[in-house]
Structure 1
Amino acid sequence: MNYLIVGATGATGRLLTEQLLERGHFVKVVVRSPEKLPEAVRNHANLTIIHTAVLDLSDAEMAQHVRECDAVASCLGHNVTFKGMYGHPRKLVTDATRRLCQAIRANNPDKATKFVLMNTVGNSNRDLNEPL
């Protein structure tokens, strides 16, 4: 199977990437810092590294990257610091999820593409008047 993973250098994304590669799947990852991936992962024959921030991809580029993927997994999150959690981009997960789903639909796939969201995006700060 073919997978696209965003947030592959974080704890969850790295483990997911490693497990998919160990099972013989083909994996594309969108990462800002490929050097954060373990060397064995970076050099794996079934891995394609897309070196950019996910929100920097154009709609056409995003559609190209999700094309022919059986599943897309978002493991995006903010660094666990005040600057990371409350800094830019505030709506990273929301915006990336919206754009990835639009890219999947834009390709009009013959079969359903699975989308897996692995994070705490459902949590909100009730002190802010900010819709999810």
Structure 2
Amino acid sequence: MHLVVSGASGATGRLVVEQAVAAGHRVTVLVRDPGRFRAPAGVHVVVAQVVDDPGVTLPDGADAVVSALGKRSAKDPAPVCTDGVRNLVAAMRRKGVRRIVAVSASPVLRTGYGEPWWFRRVVRPAVHRLGRDLYADLEGMERTLRAADADLDWTVLRPGYLVDHPAAGYRLVQDANAVGNVHRADLAAALLSVVGDPATAGHAYGLASAAS
């Protein structure tokens, strides 16, 4: 597949690119600052203001978009993911690309379905207070994708707490949260797995690493 990766200079995005190249995919990355991204051999780098530019353009022949966009700080009030994905969706429509997978987070599922009752009652409210702007942004991103159902085949992954550990294998839970930490390498692997699986379109998945 020809994959377009947005947010490639971030911790998760870098792993997505590395694993995609290793799997034999053709990869184009959209980055704001090419100085912050060291491209593996064969990766095409496009300088693009995905968050700020409604006219951002996708390369010809793209098959799917992987969004690993995220805030640099949970206290940043800017709607980075909402605006970025909105601009990506518009670019996809212009190019006739339907498939997109995006990184969200488990607190976005406000019911906490799949989590223990004590976690939903005690931990989740505190998490939402501390990350109010962060999760509001991700909720806006998910609404943007759901509103584009007629034009897009979208899938959202909602990992729990991310840690920089080696891949350990992972489990996905459809339309619920998975309990446990997530190794970034597992998140990257899951993104690449679901992007090629049309059966996952139209769903959000909780994600946890098998070791957690």
The aligned residue for residue 27 of structure 1 is 27
Q: Which has the higher contact order (CA 8 A, sep 6+)?
A: 1
Using the size of structure 2 for normalisation, the TM-score is 0.47
- TM-score w.r.t. length of structure 1: 0.71
Q: Choose from 71, 76, 81 the match for 1:93.
A: 81
In structure 2, the residue matched to 1:44 is 41
| Gap change, CA 1:43 and 1:115, over 3 Å in 2 | closer
The reply to whether residue 118 of structure 1 matches residue 103 of structure 2 is yes
SS of 1:54's equivalent in the other structure is coil
- The runs of at least 4 aligned residues of structure 1 exceeding 6 Å deviation read none
State the Cα deviation string for residues 82-127 of structure 1 (Å, max 9, x = none). Answer: xx22225x21101111221122122235xxx310001329638566
Distance in structure 2 (CA, Å) of the matches to 1:121 and 1:67: 34
**The one of 40, 51, 55 aligned to 1:55:** 51
**Cα distance, 1:52–1:107 mapped onto 2, change above 3 Å:** closer
Provide the alpha-carbon RMSD of the alignment.
Answer: 2.7
Consecutive unaligned residues in structure 1, runs of 5 or more: none
Equivalent residue pairs, number = 116
> C-alpha displacement at 1:35, in angstroms?
3.4
Question: Percent identity at matched positions?
Answer: 29
Checking the alignment, whether the CA contact within 8 Å between 1:7 and 1:13 is kept in structure 2 is: yes
Aligned twin of 1:73: 66
Deviation at 1:34, TM superposition (A): 2.7
Tell me what 2:121 maps to. Answer: none
Residue 85 of structure 1 aligns to which amino acid in structure 2? A
C-alpha deviations, 1:30-80, integer Å up to 9, x for none?
112333334xxx2512x1111233124352x42xx154211101101112x
Q: Helix, strand or coil for the counterpart of 1:101? A: helix
Q: Is the 8 Å Cα contact of residues 54 and 90 (structure 2) preserved in structure 1?
A: no
